[in-house]
Amino acid sequence: MFSKIERFLKEKVHMAAQENNPAGEERGLMVATAVLFLEMAHSDFDMSPQEIKQIQTTLSEFFSLDASEIDQLLSLAEENRRQRNDIWLFTNLLKENLNHRQKQRILEQLWELIYADQKVDMYEDALIRKITNLLGLEHAEMIAAKLKAKEKFKR
Protein backbone atom coordinates (compact mmCIF):
# COMPACT_ATOMS: atom_id res chain seq x y z
CA MET A 1 0.00 0.00 0.00
CA PHE A 2 2.71 2.49 0.97
CA SER A 3 4.62 1.82 -2.25
CA LYS A 4 1.47 2.70 -4.25
CA ILE A 5 1.22 6.00 -2.41
CA GLU A 6 4.90 6.69 -2.90
CA ARG A 7 4.63 5.95 -6.64
CA PHE A 8 1.58 8.19 -6.92
CA LEU A 9 3.42 11.10 -5.35
CA LYS A 10 6.43 10.65 -7.58
CA GLU A 11 4.46 10.19 -10.78
CA LYS A 12 1.62 12.67 -10.40
CA VAL A 13 2.65 15.42 -8.02
CA HIS A 14 6.25 15.32 -6.98
CA MET A 15 8.27 13.65 -9.77
CA ALA A 16 10.19 16.72 -10.88
CA ALA A 17 10.95 17.66 -7.28
CA GLN A 18 12.55 14.25 -6.79
CA GLU A 19 14.95 15.24 -9.58
CA ASN A 20 15.96 18.41 -7.66
CA ASN A 21 14.05 20.58 -10.09
CA PRO A 22 12.82 23.70 -8.22
CA ALA A 23 10.25 24.42 -10.94
CA GLY A 24 8.94 20.88 -10.64
CA GLU A 25 8.72 21.13 -6.87
CA GLU A 26 6.81 24.39 -7.18
CA ARG A 27 4.48 22.78 -9.72
CA GLY A 28 3.80 19.89 -7.33
CA LEU A 29 2.93 22.36 -4.56
CA MET A 30 0.67 24.28 -6.92
CA VAL A 31 -1.16 21.10 -7.90
CA ALA A 32 -1.51 20.02 -4.26
CA THR A 33 -2.92 23.43 -3.33
CA ALA A 34 -5.36 23.40 -6.25
CA VAL A 35 -6.49 19.88 -5.32
CA LEU A 36 -7.43 21.09 -1.82
CA PHE A 37 -9.47 23.94 -3.26
CA LEU A 38 -11.24 21.60 -5.68
CA GLU A 39 -11.87 19.06 -2.95
CA MET A 40 -13.45 21.76 -0.80
CA ALA A 41 -15.62 23.00 -3.67
CA HIS A 42 -16.80 19.45 -4.38
CA SER A 43 -17.35 18.56 -0.71
CA ASP A 44 -20.95 19.81 -0.61
CA PHE A 45 -21.79 18.11 -3.93
CA ASP A 46 -22.59 21.48 -5.51
CA MET A 47 -19.71 23.37 -7.09
CA SER A 48 -21.20 26.82 -7.61
CA PRO A 49 -20.03 29.43 -10.14
CA GLN A 50 -18.99 31.62 -7.19
CA GLU A 51 -16.74 28.82 -5.91
CA ILE A 52 -15.14 28.32 -9.33
CA LYS A 53 -14.46 32.04 -9.62
CA GLN A 54 -13.06 32.11 -6.06
CA ILE A 55 -10.70 29.21 -6.86
CA GLN A 56 -9.49 30.88 -10.05
CA THR A 57 -8.93 34.21 -8.29
CA THR A 58 -7.12 32.62 -5.37
CA LEU A 59 -4.83 30.51 -7.53
CA SER A 60 -4.06 33.50 -9.73
CA GLU A 61 -3.10 35.56 -6.67
CA PHE A 62 -1.17 32.72 -5.00
CA PHE A 63 0.91 31.78 -7.99
CA SER A 64 0.77 34.80 -10.36
CA LEU A 65 -0.73 32.75 -13.17
CA ASP A 66 -2.75 33.91 -16.16
CA ALA A 67 -6.15 32.45 -17.11
CA SER A 68 -4.68 29.82 -19.44
CA GLU A 69 -2.21 28.64 -16.80
CA ILE A 70 -5.00 28.50 -14.21
CA ASP A 71 -7.07 26.32 -16.55
CA GLN A 72 -4.11 23.96 -17.06
CA LEU A 73 -3.44 23.81 -13.31
CA LEU A 74 -7.08 23.10 -12.51
CA SER A 75 -7.24 20.40 -15.17
CA LEU A 76 -4.16 18.67 -13.74
CA ALA A 77 -5.43 19.13 -10.19
CA GLU A 78 -8.84 17.67 -11.05
CA GLU A 79 -7.16 14.63 -12.62
CA ASN A 80 -5.02 14.17 -9.49
CA ARG A 81 -8.05 14.68 -7.24
CA ARG A 82 -10.01 11.94 -9.01
CA GLN A 83 -7.09 9.50 -8.82
CA ARG A 84 -6.22 10.03 -5.20
CA ASN A 85 -6.82 7.68 -2.31
CA ASP A 86 -6.93 10.42 0.30
CA ILE A 87 -6.18 14.13 0.64
CA TRP A 88 -3.32 13.17 2.95
CA LEU A 89 -1.08 12.88 -0.11
CA PHE A 90 -1.61 16.52 -0.93
CA THR A 91 -1.77 17.96 2.57
CA ASN A 92 1.41 16.13 3.54
CA LEU A 93 3.27 17.58 0.56
CA LEU A 94 2.17 21.06 1.64
CA LYS A 95 2.87 20.39 5.32
CA GLU A 96 6.42 19.30 4.55
CA ASN A 97 7.26 22.11 2.12
CA LEU A 98 5.44 25.25 3.26
CA ASN A 99 6.16 27.49 6.19
CA HIS A 100 3.59 28.05 8.92
CA ARG A 101 2.29 31.33 7.47
CA GLN A 102 1.81 29.79 4.01
CA LYS A 103 -0.26 26.99 5.51
CA GLN A 104 -2.34 29.51 7.44
CA ARG A 105 -2.92 31.46 4.24
CA ILE A 106 -4.19 28.33 2.49
CA LEU A 107 -6.57 27.77 5.40
CA GLU A 108 -7.81 31.36 5.14
CA GLN A 109 -8.39 30.98 1.42
CA LEU A 110 -10.24 27.70 1.95
CA TRP A 111 -12.59 29.52 4.33
CA GLU A 112 -13.11 32.24 1.74
CA LEU A 113 -14.00 29.52 -0.73
CA ILE A 114 -16.49 28.06 1.74
CA TYR A 115 -18.13 31.46 2.18
CA ALA A 116 -18.12 32.24 -1.57
CA ASP A 117 -21.56 30.68 -2.01
CA GLN A 118 -22.86 32.30 1.20
CA LYS A 119 -23.41 29.04 3.10
CA VAL A 120 -21.35 26.67 5.22
CA ASP A 121 -22.26 23.05 4.59
CA MET A 122 -21.60 20.36 7.22
CA TYR A 123 -19.34 18.53 4.74
CA GLU A 124 -17.29 21.68 4.17
CA ASP A 125 -16.99 22.17 7.92
CA ALA A 126 -15.83 18.58 8.41
CA LEU A 127 -13.31 18.83 5.57
CA ILE A 128 -11.79 22.10 6.77
CA ARG A 129 -11.28 20.56 10.21
CA LYS A 130 -9.55 17.56 8.63
CA ILE A 131 -7.34 19.76 6.45
CA THR A 132 -6.42 21.93 9.45
CA ASN A 133 -5.24 18.86 11.31
CA LEU A 134 -3.41 17.35 8.33
CA LEU A 135 -1.55 20.62 7.69
CA GLY A 136 -0.39 20.59 11.32
CA LEU A 137 -2.33 23.71 12.25
CA GLU A 138 -4.20 24.33 15.49
CA HIS A 139 -7.96 24.52 15.96
CA ALA A 140 -7.61 28.13 17.13
CA GLU A 141 -5.90 28.99 13.82
CA MET A 142 -8.82 27.46 11.94
CA ILE A 143 -11.29 29.57 13.94
CA ALA A 144 -9.24 32.73 13.36
CA ALA A 145 -9.17 32.01 9.61
CA LYS A 146 -12.92 31.39 9.65
CA LEU A 147 -13.65 34.67 11.40
CA LYS A 148 -11.36 36.56 9.03
CA ALA A 149 -13.12 35.09 5.97
CA LYS A 150 -16.57 35.59 7.47
CA GLU A 151 -15.81 39.26 8.10
CA LYS A 152 -14.61 39.72 4.51
CA PHE A 153 -17.87 38.33 3.13
CA LYS A 154 -20.05 40.48 5.42
CA ARG A 155 -19.01 43.58 3.51
Q: What whole-number distance in Å separates Cα of residue 137 and Cα of residue 142?
A: 8
142 and 129 Cβ atoms separated by less than 8 Å: yes
58 and 39 Cβ atoms separated by less than 8 Å: no
The CATH number for 7's domain is 1.10.3680.10
40 and 115 Cβ atoms separated by less than 8 Å: no
Domain count, the chain: 1
Q: Which helix (H) or strand (E) holds 118?
A: none
63 and 77 Cβ atoms separated by less than 8 Å: no
| Per-residue pLDDT, 24 | 63
Per-residue pLDDT reduced to its tens digit, 138-147: 999 999 999 9
Per-residue pLDDT reduced to its tens digit, 56-99: 999 999 899 999 999 999 999 999 998 877 899 999 999 999 99
Per-residue pLDDT reduced to its tens digit, 9-64: 444 444 444 444 555 678 899 999 999 999 999 998 888 898 999 999 999 998 99
Find the domain containing 77 and state its range.
Answer: 2-154
